[in-house]
Amino acid sequence: MSSNDTTIIRKSIREKIRIAHELLATLGDSLRGDRRISELLADLQMKTAASRQAMFDLGIVSICRFCEDEDGGSCCGRGIEDKYDPVLLLTNLLLGIRLPEQRFQTDSCYFLGREGCCLEARDVICVNYLCRKLQTVIPPHDLIRLQTLNGEELDAAFALTEAIKKFICHESRCKSPG
């Protein structure tokens, strides 16, 4: 990890959101107008929709909501948001996601709202993590199907964020965002 990467990780989530909004303001139209990035945005939306639908179909969303509301809190605890960098947040902005201006609950992830996670493009830990309870109630064949969809979502997110980074690098003569 470069020292610039370490600096970005240490920034507050509000600072990362500010940087993402600045990038959108300066490069948003150009990014949206780039054919490759537009294709990758559409691909990510399709893959995200498929994995989210599987989570609903398998009851994961309702199990997680019960855990959050009735069992004292979910896995989406405070600090998870620190995994996010300005490029992944910019990706969400390009997807039309409105990033929150403040935390909904003090002990939860900054992006966990009343209806669950507000992000479409999420960090790998947020996509892949399944608690022990979920692992025991979901049949193995369904877990495999979900993990396959999650992998496709993560591949699409990675391809898109890498394309955005290259675009930013080209536009700013390779200064890292943030």
Each residue of 139-162: pLDDT tens digit? 999 999 999 999 999 999 999 999
Q: Using 50, 70 and 90 to split pLDDT, how confident is the model at 131? A: confident
CB 72, CB 103: distance < 8 Å: no
Nearest residue to 53 via CA among 173, 142, 131: 142
CA angle 26, 32, 36 (to 5 degrees): 125
Q: How far is CA 103 from each of CA 13, 30, 80, 113, 156, rounded to the nearest angstrom? A: 10, 31, 12, 8, 28
The DSSP bridge partners found for residue 113 are 116
Q: How far is CA 78 from the centre of its chain?
A: 15
DSSP state of 108: B
Q: Using 50, 70 and 90 to split pLDDT, how confident is the model at 175? A: low
d(CA 109, CA 36): 32
36-52: per-residue pLDDT in tens? 999 999 999 999 999 99
